[in-house]
Each structure stands twice: as structure tokens, then as C-alpha cells.
Structure 1
Amino acid sequence: ASLPPGFGGALLVFFFEAARGFSVNEARLLLLFYFAAGLIGAPLWGWVARRTSKHMAVAWAIGSYAVLHMGLVLAPNAGFWVAAAGMLLAGIPAVAPPFLVRAMLADVTDAETLATGRSSAGLYYAVLVAVQKIGYAIPVGLAYIVLDMVGFDAKLGSANTQSAIDGLVLLFLVPPVVSALGAAWLARGWTIDRAAQARIIAELHGR
């Protein structure tokens, strides 16, 4: 779940500057709309999780992120405020996985406590944090390697060759969308749904 925003975050400024013709300051300002969307998205996805199940909320969030990110990249350039609206929309689902996956991990520790009488919550959370950090680090390293391979020079911005800019656009589009759809598919297979978690909590309280 960390890979899609990892790729997007690593390339966002380059994309809006070189492929869309915005200034560096405008490209960075667009990030504010993306992060501000978290204020809207967090309570929204919490509500979805309560109405359905945490894993389904994660699947819907990551899946909608893939669609919105694809629309953001493929839509023609229509100015700063349209791009800002696109970033705002893309930021709403992007905020869901970090806190919902932690909540899903808490369900796992509840199930383990019920089954074994003990919990390895500390170990699970340590592994989760490590995996999330790796998920953000890998895209950065890979993205810059691939950009170098296609001949993209960040210092040139929109003055890069068209083939280099096309390579940037493909890199900004394909890995985030593919990894997001893959993560959504995996999330749908989570076995501790809302009903299962309710049973686990009831049995724990019964003890």
C-alpha cells in the first residue's frame, strides 16, 4: 500500500514541472492540496470501514486512488486550479491505507490473543513500520534510476527531450496504478472481516 504514493511522491514535482509546464513553486504548492485532502479523507474512510469492513475500505481506497491518479496523469493540462482539484481528489483515498492497515493489524493481534492467549503486537507493528518505510524508499531509488535511463534531467524541466518527458509520464503513471490495483486485490482477500472481528472481541470479553 506504500508503493503507489511512494512512486507518486517521488515524481510529482518533476511531472508537473516538465510534463505540465508549471513552475517548481506551483508544483510544490500542489502537494499542499494533496496533503490537505487527508483532513477530509481520514474521517471519510473511517466511516466506510465502520459501515463495511476495514479491508474493504482499504481495497476501495487504493482502487479509487489508482483511478484518480490515472485520470490526473492522462487528463490534458487545463491549468493550475484543475490540477489542484485533481490532487485534492487523489489525496482523499491516499490517506486511508496508513491508518486502516494498522487497525487491521490490531485485529490480527486480537485473533492471536484469542487463539494462543498471548500477543505479538509489538513485533507485528515493528515489521509493519519497516515494510512501510521500505515501500516508500524503493520507489524513490527505482524512479531515479529509470529516469536516468530514459535521459530525463531534473534541472532541465520542460526543456528535456520529448522522449525523456514521455518516459517520466509513463513512470509516473504505470507503477503507481499497477501497484495500487494489486494492493486493492490483495486487500479484498483479507479474512478478518467486520463479522469475524465482532466474534473475536465478544469471545475475548467473554473470557
Structure 2
Amino acid sequence: MFIVIAVPLCALVSHFFAKEPIASPVKSHSQPKDFLALFSLVSLRRLMISDIALAFSGGVTGAMFLFYLSSIKDYGKSAFLLLLIYFVSGLVFTPLWVTIAKKFGKHRALLLACCYTILSQLLILYLPKGNVALAGVLIGIVGISYAAPLSAPLYLIRSMVSDIGDEDKLVTKKDRTGLLFALLGFTTKTGYALAVGVTFVLLQAIGYDANLGMANTQSSINGLTMIYFGFPLICQGIAIWLMNSYPLTRERVEEVQHQLSLQENDAQ
């Protein structure tokens, strides 16, 4: 029901408030060499690796969330409500990250979001067993940067791809934004696919059985905890390391956009 209501509303908002100029007719088609040429961009390589890492992190969290809350924290069916709170929180606080990105730059906002995620994930580790009300508050805090696909990590990365497209257009005089988003779509799906495959293979290896819940052995419970927290912390750390020296800063983005506007004015 939520999706049925949200999709048309989002479509209307996009139509009226996210308009774009009419694209010029395509004069040529992309070749394999165009994909290879994009990999020469340092900013793109850093962003693609970050995207895989963050998608993997999100995939692990999404796959293990209900298992962790039901098997370790004893929330039972209330875990589904907590999952909803988790995602709604990420959606509601999306404007916060937009504001931070505008003020400090997108890569700094992404770096901050990853740091916040690492710290806030620890709240889940100390969730009180069976206390759904308090758990809802704490999980809402965790979800601020991490939950919804429109929230910090994935939203910011897609916005940064547009900036890479602008810089590439300025240098090459070609608009290859479509190729950039195609590559990003590939890395995102790769990260999520690997997350599901790796985590479930590991759960089987440690002997965890979702049907047993809290009746699982202590070793399998410990293994579940290590998977749930270990992989995301490592992946977030990778993204932090890559974003710390990201070359396409806010100042560079503003310079690129200024140069593009000058080119467009000269062309008219």
C-alpha cells in the first residue's frame, strides 16, 4: 500500500520540481572504448569502489537485520515494525544530507554519513532485549544516514556521478552521463548481489538456522553478530578512506559548472 501511494506522488513531484532541459539528439553511439576511457577518471574509480563497498554494506545489513533482531534481541514479529522505522527514518532525513552536501560538499557529506553510520550502528549492538519502544527510537537514529535508498550513501553517490559527468563533458566535449550511471548501476547491483551471496553462505557455514531464532547455538549467534557488524564497518571504512582524498571537491565542481556555463553561452 505504501508503494502504491508513494510512486504516483513521487512521479508528480519529479515532473513539476525536477525539470531538466531538453536533451539534444544523440549523434553517436557509445563504444566499448568509451567505457574504458571513463576508468581513467580518478574520481570515478574512487566512487565506483565506494559504491560497491556501501552497497555491500547495505546488503549485509538488509539481509541480516531481521535475523539479528529476532534471534539475538528477541523482538519477534516486532522486528518488522522496527525495520519500517529504519527505512522511514532514512527517507525523512534525506533533506538533512542535502543541506550538509550543499554547505560542505558532497564528498564531505558522504564521508560524514559513513562516520555517523559506524558510530550509530553500535546503538543496535546495545539495544535492550524486548523493549520495542526504546528500540524504535534508537533504530530511528541509526536510520538517519543509512536506511532508505534515498538517504545519505546511495543518494549522495548518485549526485556525485552527475558532477563527474560535468567534468568529463568539460574536458572531452562529450556528454557521457548515461554511461556513468550505467557503470554505477552495475557497481550497486554487484555490491548487493555479493552481500546476499556471501552472508548466506557464511550463515550456513556457522550453522545458523533462522527458524530456531534464539535457540541457535551460541557460536552461531556470535557468528551472526560478527557478520552483521563486521562487514558494514569494514565497508564504511573503505568508503571513508577513498572519500578523504576525493579530487572532485565542492570548489572544483563550482569551477566546472562555471566553465560549462561559459561554453554554453559562447555556443549560443
Residue 39 of structure 1 and its aligned partner are, at CA, apart by 2.9
- How many percent of aligned residue pairs carry the same amino acid? 31
Deviations 1:1-59 (A, max 9, x none): 21222111110100001111111x21111111111112332100000000000000011
Alignment partners' CA distance in 1, 2:233 and 2:72: 18
Is the contact made by 2:60 and 2:199 (CA closer than 8 Å) also made in structure 1? yes
Q: 1:168 aligns with which of 224, 231, 248?
A: 224
Alignment partners' CA distance in 2, 1:139 and 1:38: 20
- Give the TM-score, by structure 1 length: 0.95
Is the contact made by 1:62 and 1:97 (CA closer than 8 Å) also made in structure 2? yes
Q: 1:134 aligns with which of 171, 190, 203?
A: 190
Number of the residue aligned with 1:34:
86
Is the contact made by 1:67 and 1:177 (CA closer than 8 Å) also made in structure 2? no
Deviations 1:52-105 (A, max 9, x none): 000000111011111111231245536112221222111111121111111111
Tell me, which stretches of 5 or more residues in structure 2 are unaligned?
1-53, 264-268
Alignment partners' CA distance in 2, 1:143 and 1:70: 20
Residue 167 of structure 1 and its aligned partner are, at CA, apart by 0.9
Alignment partners' CA distance in 1, 2:133 and 2:192: 28
Alignment of 1:113-152 (within 5 A): 113-152=169-208
Q: 1:6 aligns with which of 56, 59, 66?
A: 59
Alignment partners' CA distance in 2, 1:76 and 1:175: 23
Larger radius of gyration: 2
Deviations 1:119-166 (A, max 9, x none): 211111011011111111211111111111111101101111111111
Number of the residue aligned with 1:79:
131
Alignment partners' CA distance in 2, 1:83 and 1:167: 22
Structure 1 runs, 4 residues or longer, greater than 6 Å off: none
- Structure 2 residue 118 is the aligned partner of structure 1 residue 62: no
Q: Residue type matched to 1:12 in 2?
A: F
- Give the TM-score, by structure 2 length: 0.74
Q: Residue type matched to 2:55 in 1?
A: S
User: What SS does the aligned partner of 1:155 have?
Assistant: coil
Number of the residue aligned with 2:155:
99
Number of the residue aligned with 2:234:
178
Q: Residue type matched to 2:101 in 1?
A: A
**Larger RCO: 1 or 2 (CA < 8 Å, sep 6+):** 1
Q: Residue type matched to 1:11 in 2?
A: M
Is the contact made by 1:38 and 1:92 (CA closer than 8 Å) also made in structure 2? yes
Tell me, which stretches of 5 or more residues in structure 1 are unaligned?
none
Give the paired residue count: 206
